[in-house]
């Protein structure tokens, strides 16, 4: 269908993200340490003369249109992400004028690199800009998370939306997900200068809307409730110690116990990772990543055969300081710390081994940490 546009489009973009450390800690008040990566969703929004909101995507078939003031609910389609954001904006009293929103991008889909949050943040910034409004980073991220939780129906935490909004180039972002306090942690101190972050896409599709993520989340919440009943001063698992968990072992299922153990040890690893990064100690950071993988595999049970193979192979290769599953899990990507001078050989050897073992071509992406959507918008203003 064609529409009449009445001013120049506004174009904004939001990156994807990779998580260095702190997995599944972001919905029980824990710590995460992700960075934004140079894959982007671009949102192009034009004001329309017709009284409609129209959504298009270069990556998906079909166009979605609704009258301004419409209140349709979930379609289980790609446009649920931007429409969910629009609903959240409407709830805040933001009423964008009629628009055509066109999305395009290259964040790998279903790979654990946050294509969904990237679409949400780009769409949100575009609709806000068209409405002549702005939001601070934490409100913007929380709004996008609510769109995903309430409209799309994925029970995700806050990590992805927050880092995609608030990251700074050259830095990882340490986020305390309980209160959204954050710190930009430089990635160029000491030994880290010689290191590249290499992402390896297993091409095993991961979908966090599917049951396993929600199931893990419930097991954790049950464990957390048991602990809080016993230790009244605990706000959430972010405060809990292994000793406290041991004391509650008999009162929770073996699954809840293991899930909680992952969270408690993972929060400790994130704290240590911050220290390692500030000290420029790539070796220590790499070791923490390998320990995190063991915990994801054995305690959180969110890995899979292909990912375990990629991690085990990677840590035996020259120049590799550490490797682990990144993101929601059950497939997706690994994140690897690799000496710059060994990166080409590392990527080729890893891909060859994967192809030989599974007859599938993995992809590798060598990524520097880029600006989040707000810093990028400011730079362009």
Catalytic residue IDs:
160
Residues contacting ligand GLA: total by CB under 6 A: 12
Nearer to ligand GLA, 271 or 351 (CB): 271
The phi, psi pair for 31, rounded to 5°, reads: -105, 145
Instruction: Give the separation between CA 36 and CA 106, rounded to whole angstroms.
Output: 14
Cβ atoms 205, 110 nearer than 8 A: yes
Draw the binding track, 270-299, toward ligand GLA (x: CB under 6 A; -: no contact).
Answer: ------------------------------
**Residue number with CB closer to ligand GLA (102 or 266):** 266
CB proximity list for 194: less than 8 A, separation 6 or greater: 282, 339, 340, 341
CB nearer to ligand GLA: pick between 185 and 343 = 185
Q: Please state the closest distance from residue 335 (CB atom) to ligand GLA, in A.
A: 12
Residue from the set 328, 365, 371, 372 that interacts with ligand GLA by CB under 6 A: 328
User: Closer to ligand GLA at the Cβ: 103 or 117?
Assistant: 117
Q: For residue 171, what are the β-bridge partners? A: 186
- What's the maximum distance between 2 C-alpha atoms anywhere in the chain? 66
Sequence-separated (6 or more) residues with CB below 8 Å from residue 248: 223, 226, 227, 230, 257
262: contact with ligand GLA by CB under 6 A:
no
Q: What sign results for the dihedral spanned by CA atoms 43, 49, 53, 59?
A: negative
Binding of ligand GLA by 248 (CB under 6 A): no
What residues from 116 to 175 belong to the interface with ligand GLA (CB under 6 A)? Answer: 156-157, 159-160
CB atoms within 10 A of CB 212: 15
Q: Which of 26, 120, 299, 306 binds ligand GLA (CB under 6 A)?
A: 26
Nearer to ligand GLA, 171 or 206 (CB): 206
Strands 64-67, 99-105: pairing kind:
unpaired
Give the per-residue contact string, 169-208, with ligand GLA (x = CB under 6 A; - = no): ---------------------------------------x
Residue 15, interface with ligand GLA (CB under 6 A)? no
| β-sheet bridge partners, residue 18 | 35
Find how far residue 310's CA is from the centre of its chain.
20
Chain residues binding ligand GLA by CB under 6 A are 19, 23-24, 26-27, 156-157, 159-160, 208, 327-328
């Amino acid at each position: 269908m064609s529409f009449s546009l009445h001013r120049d489009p506004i174009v904004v973009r939001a990156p994807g993200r990779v998580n260095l450390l702190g997995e599944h800690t972001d919905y029980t008040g824990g710590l995460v340490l992700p960075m934004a990566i140079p894959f982007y969703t671009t949102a192009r929004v034009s004001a329309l003369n017709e009284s409609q909101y129209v959504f298009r995507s270069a990556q998906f078939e079909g166009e979605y249109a609704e009258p301004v003031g419409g209140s349709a609910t979930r379609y289980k389609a790609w446009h649920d992400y931007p429409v969910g954001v629009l609903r959240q904006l409407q709830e805040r009293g933001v009423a964008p004028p009629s628009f055509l929103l066109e999305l395009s991008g290259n964040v790998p889909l279903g790979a654990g690199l946050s294509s969904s949050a990237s679409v949400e943040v780009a769409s949100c910034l575009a609709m806000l800009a068209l409405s002549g409004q702005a939001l601070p980073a934490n409100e913007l991220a929380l709004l996008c998370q609510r769109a995903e939780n309430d409209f799309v129906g994925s029970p995700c935490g806050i990590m992805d939306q927050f880092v995609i909004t608030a990251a700074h180039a050259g830095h990882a972002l340490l986020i305390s997900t309980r209160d959204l306090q954050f710190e930009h942690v430089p990635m160029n101190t000491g030994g880290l200068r010689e290191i590249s972050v290499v992402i390896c896409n297993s091409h095993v599709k991961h979908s966090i809307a599917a049951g396993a993520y929600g199931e893990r989340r419930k097991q954790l919440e049950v464990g957390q409730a048991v602990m809080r009943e016993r230790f009244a001063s605990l706000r959430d698992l972010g405060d809990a110690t292994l000793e406290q968990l041991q004391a509650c072992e008999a009162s929770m299922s073996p699954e809840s116990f293991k899930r909680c153990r992952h969270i408690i040890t993972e929060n400790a690893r994130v704290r240590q990772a911050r220290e390692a990064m500030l000290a420029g100690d790539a070796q220590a950071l790499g070791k923490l990543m390998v320990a995190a993988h063991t915990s994801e595999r054995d305690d959180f049970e969110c890995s899979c055969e292909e990912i375990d193979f990629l991690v085990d192979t990677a840590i035996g290769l020259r120049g590799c300081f550490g490797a682990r599953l990144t993101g929601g899990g059950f497939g997706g990507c690994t994140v690897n710390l690799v000496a710059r001078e060994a990166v080409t050989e590392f990527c080729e050897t890893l891909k060859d081994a994967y192809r030989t073992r599974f007859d599938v071509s993995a992809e590798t992406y060598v990524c520097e940490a880029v600006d989040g959507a707000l810093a990028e918008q400011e730079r362009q203003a």
